[in-house]
Amino acid sequence: MLIHGFENAPLAVGERLLELPGFWAAHLMWLSETREYDSVPEWFGVDGADVAEAWEALSDEDRWPVFRIPFAGGHTAVILGCNLRDDPGTEYLITHADWGRHGRLATLGGHQAGPGLSWRELTHIARTPDLNAPGVHAVHVRLLLLLPALGDQDVPDDAPEVLSDALAQADLPDPRGLAEALLEGHPLWEPAEWTFATASPLSGSQKPFPGILQCDGPISPRSGTHLAQGITREQSERLARALGTWSAE
């Protein structure tokens, strides 16, 4: 497996880890903490040993897990565990075979940066799998994998229902209560406002091409810059369509 910028990293296909009983707890437990309650493994129907096993696999310094979420137009959302001994973190990226470099969505860890996705983009990517490309194709799994990159102040009223349905399909107990906890507030950043840029880089602006959302989050990689550096206007239009935002431009 090869990802630009990580050529020397010990990358490994991560989808097999989804089968671990403690995977969803290891992936989401930190995100489900609320002001009133600390999240516990039992919220996910597992015990501490299950979580420890999953966490050990996810943080393996010799095998950095990569989860691939292929979507329309040959794009792939990538979740990459950067398991450096002294500076671990998780990168949320977008890649395409025609791009010279990946697009950066969000970073979890000591150098956190986000949010990386609006609710509209999150659900659209989840619901438009490219079945001809390798990676995760189940809609509910895609949604839950990408959820930590979310940060949107205008999450729709049906969001808890949508997320609850995904959690139920993952066989997690009390999916409605867990969905509400997961949407209550992100531990690393505040919800952002997502808007369309008003100018094109063809005129000298550094704002994204039309059709690509940007957010007002001060630590977001998508705050006033291109989602993917160096791509052409045509490539950006294809990306906007794949993200489900082009029609609103």
* 8 CB-near residues (< 8 Å, 6+ apart): none
Q: Is the pLDDT of residue 204 over 50?
A: no
Report, as an integer, the average pLDDT of 107-118.
Answer: 93
Asked whether the beta carbons of 65 and 124 are under 8 A apart, the reply is no
Handedness of CA 197, 202, 204, 206 (dihedral sign): positive
Is the pLDDT at 245 greater than 50? The verdict is: yes
* Reported confidence tier of residue 207, pLDDT bands at 50, 70, 90: low
For residues 112-134, give the mean pLDDT: 97
Q: Could you tell me where the beta strands, DSSP code E, fall in the chain?
A: 11-13, 64-71, 75-82, 89-96, 103-109, 194-196, 213-215
Q: Which two tokens stand for residue 213?
A: 């959302």
Structural contact between residues 82 and 50, judged by C-beta atoms closer than 8 angstroms: no
Return the closest-CA partner of residue 116 out of 131, 105, 128. Answer: 105
pTM of the model: 0.94
What percentage of the chain reaches a pLDDT higher than 70? 94
User: So what's the pLDDT on residue 229?
Assistant: 82
Among 180, 245, 181, which residue's Cα sits nearest to residue 208? 245
pLDDT class for 35, splitting at 50, 70, 90?
Answer: confident
Burial class, 170, CB count within 10 angstroms (exposed 0-12 / middle 13-18 / buried 19+)? buried
